[in-house]
Amino acid sequence: MGENCSPVPEASVSSKSVEQDENVKSSNFEDKKAEEKKLQINKGNELSKTSTKEQNETENEDSETKNKKLNEIRENIANATQEKIGEVLERDLINSLNDYELVSGQMDKTDEQWEEEITELLNSA
């Protein structure tokens, strides 16, 4: 019964299935490699995001420190300026009071006393 039948081409079927298996295996291997690369890239991105985030936080802290120092300096300058203005105003006020005292003290002079003082000043010049 089996002698008259034509031989079944098993080799060609099996070679196709082997090729398909190899293709599937290689595509699975390539897919795995691609996934690993994606994971590595994602990890790298996460690390760079983390390092960038840390850099931004460090920069923010540095800028906050600089701003605090600048504010302190500005405050010191403003205080020094106010003290200087206060000293100038105080000096002007004292001078004005002294002038007033001089003028008010001289208002008690009579015309004759004024004439004598003017004559003395003219003679000494």
Helix (H, G, I), strand (E, B) or coil at 107: coil
- Look up the pTM and report it: 0.33
User: Model confidence over 14-61: pLDDT tens digits?
Assistant: 555 556 666 666 667 788 888 888 888 877 777 666 667 777 778 888
Half-sphere exposure of 48 (CA within 13 A, CB side): 6
* Burial grade of 33 (CB within 10 A; 0-12, 13-18, 19 or more): exposed
**What pLDDT, on a 0 to 100 scale, did the predictor assign at position 24?**
60
| Predicted local distance difference test score (pLDDT) of residue 50 | 66
Q: Which of 10-19, 55-64, 74-83, 107-116 has the lowest mean pLDDT?
A: 10-19
Torsion of CA 86, 92, 98, 104, to 10 degrees: -120
